[in-house]
Structure 1
Amino acid sequence: MREDEFVNLPSGRNLGYAEYGDPQGRPVFFFHGWPSSRLQAAYLDKDAMERGIRILAPDRPGIGSSDPLPKRRFSDWPKDVADFADALEIPRFSIFGISGGGPYALATCSQLGDRIERAAVVCGAPPLSADADRTHMHWAYRTLSGMKSLRRAAVPALIPLSKWMIRRGPHRAPMSWMLRSIPARDREAIHSGGGWDTVTRSYLTAISNGSKNLLTDGELYIEPWGFDPEKITVPVRFWHGLADANLPCEVARKLAKRVPESEGCWVEGEGHYSLAVFHSTEVLDWLKG
């Protein structure tokens, strides 16, 4: 396990990354969610080690230990991924894109298909631009995505509040109240071994560069993606919980239909967090092939 690594990209920017699992294993690039960072992949360390998988988890530009890239879009990410792989002398790899990392996984597949063996999209974010159907989204996401002025005012104010809540812990108010509002299966996942620590460490790293970079990353989800999922030729498998209250399975199914010959694993009873925690071994087994 190495969590504070860097590569210097040809552009001159630094890309920070963490490494988990088997250092000599088959490479799998882990694309973190939002608001999260490279440390989100820590929960895969033991399972990846047992399967001979090397997890490489880069921070996106402006997040955690990676330098920002002004005016970036999803379609800029594959170039960073290719340069990252070149720096580590990795010709081919698979991708594990989780939640907000899902669109980044698909964007990379659309441009680097000849270098990618397989891609897993786990509880992935669907298109959320103005012309997309947002009616089934979690109310908080729907509100923030639709009101730019509220979003720009709320996020900077929420960051210090969130730090205070995390310091108090998951069993004390107001965090305990918030956790009661999510499905019981998701609470079980968050309270599982290392769950709370992984989530909070990853989040605190994500916000370490302030609200501007966090918003830059987050607002990409409500803009047009800038690539065509219909043109992807990489084997892609979607995993999504039927009880996901953050990003409902219905929209994941619609996205999967746009990716040629993709497969869908729609899991009964699992939510947004529980699917990622309790079915990660299935994902790793499939990625290993």
Structure 2
Amino acid sequence: MDIIRSLLSYLIPSLAPTAPTPITLRGHTGRYPTGTDHDYTFTLPDGRTLGYAQYGSLSGKPVFFFHGLPACRIEGVYLHEVALKHGARIIALDRAGLGLSSPHPGRKLLDYPKDVEALAEHLRLEKYAVMGASGGGPSVLACAYLLPATHLVATSLICCIGPSNLIGHHGGAWAHKLGFPYGWRHAPVPLLAYAMKSFLLGPVGRVDLPAENRVRKMLAPSFLAKHDPRDRTIMTDEDALWTMCAAADSAYGRSFEGAAQDGAITCGDWGFRIRDIRGDLPVMMWYGKYDMNVPVSHGDYIAAELGMRHREGKGVLDYRVSEDTHTSVFFNMKEEALRAVLGKF
């Protein structure tokens, strides 16, 4: 067969395979600073280490940012520019077992607000807001449920996952229909790690390869062709791609155990009802109509649950659905979402 192909290529040059055009990288521009000079650690009351990064203005209004799944504090750097512009102090935490944070065996979702509260006390923050993206949503809602009104002034959810164990994943891609309700909760860690790193996360998940190689793979026309056209600006932004790789390396470059636990908690029983979140807390939500990772059905469910508060004449809810995907809704709406929570101080 190879001989026939070679002969045909010789006789008909147009049939000969062409080498892909080399992709030249321009490298980092510094727009998303991912260096360790933004990293901090704090020892929690139980002796665990809590890792976090700070972006934006250190004298600005404090906003805790909760990363997606699987990811880490470095995702908070995407807010750095807009935080500087609007006077916000972004405090992006690593959940337990990810990045700089110690493992927390037996952790439950409602343990997380206690870590946030401990850090807020350590940083001497009187008032603060919380916002999260994608898999960080359950942590935002847990804080909304548990943290006191004297400190938590507002919350923001961008394309955040709802309780998959209750509502499934209607409207999402097949991999997520299986992954969120079942895979994260029940798959053995080695199998989950293999699936995520090998193909589900694309080149960014190949933490065994240098970041430069992964960025080249993500910029390849064959890979870009798989994405919604709405994502093209983001997926050809080298700064964003380098940051994605840095976040992956820190989150699960050494072990997938923390990511697996985080996924099981995110997609399992949360331990509270969304409708029981205090009625006077502003909750602002941004979802994408064409999101195949976290379908808009999750936003609809969360909004309906939060709307139960309104029947009693309480609560503040702002729910918006834009012509976006999972990736584009975050990058297109992050400034508006940040401004919205800052306006509640």
TM-score, length basis structure 1: 0.91
Tell me which of 328, 332, 338 is aligned to 1:278: 332
* Pairing 1:190–2:235 present: yes
Partner of 1:5: 40
Tell me whether 246-255 or 135-144 shows the greater mean CA deviation.
135-144
Partner of 2:290: 243
- In the TM superposition, what are the counterparts of 1:12-161 in structure 2 within 5 Å? 12-114=47-149, 115-129=151-165, 131-145=166-180, 146-147=182-183, 148-149=186-187, 152-156=190-194, 158-159=196-197
Q: Is the 8 A contact 1:189 1:278 kept in 2?
A: no
One-letter code of the match for 1:256? A
One-letter code of the match for 2:127? R
Aligned-residue Cα RMSD (Å) equals 2.2
Mark the CA change 1:232 to 1:199 in structure 2 (over 3 Å): closer, same or farther. same
* Pairing 1:288–2:335 present: no
Give 1:46 shift.
1.4
Tell me which of 189, 206, 213 is aligned to 1:162: 206
What's the % identity of the aligned pairs?
29
Give 1:287 shift.
1.2
One-letter code of the match for 2:152? I
Tell me whether 191-200 or 216-225 shows the greater mean CA deviation.
191-200
One-letter code of the match for 1:236? V
One-letter code of the match for 1:107? A
Mark the CA change 1:175 to 1:143 in structure 2 (over 3 Å): closer, same or farther. farther
Tell me whether 173-182 or 50-59 shows the greater mean CA deviation.
173-182
Mark the CA change 1:150 to 1:196 in structure 2 (over 3 Å): closer, same or farther. same
Mark the CA change 1:113 to 1:187 in structure 2 (over 3 Å): closer, same or farther. farther
Counterpart Cα distance in 2 of 1:173 and 1:64: 23
Task: State which structure, 1 or 2, has the greater radius of gyration over its C-alpha atoms.
Answer: 2
Tell me the secondary structure at the aligned position of residue 27 of structure 1. Answer: strand
Give 1:56 shift.
0.4
Deviations 1:25-47 (Å, cap 9, x if unpaired)?
Answer: 00000001111110001111111
Counterpart Cα distance in 1 of 2:301 and 2:196: 32
Give 1:19 shift.
0.3
Mark the CA change 1:222 to 1:92 in structure 2 (over 3 Å): closer, same or farther. same
Counterpart Cα distance in 2 of 1:277 and 1:181: 19
Counterpart Cα distance in 1 of 2:75 and 2:67: 6
Counterpart Cα distance in 1 of 2:271 and 2:264: 14
Unaligned runs of 5+ in 2: 1-32, 199-204, 310-314
Partner of 1:252: 299
Q: Is the 8 A contact 1:32 1:57 kept in 2?
A: yes
Give 1:159 shift.
3.4
Tell me the secondary structure at the aligned position of residue 194 of structure 1. Answer: helix
Q: Is the 8 A contact 2:61 2:128 kept in 1?
A: yes
Unaligned runs of 5+ in 1: none
Counterpart Cα distance in 2 of 1:271 and 1:283: 16
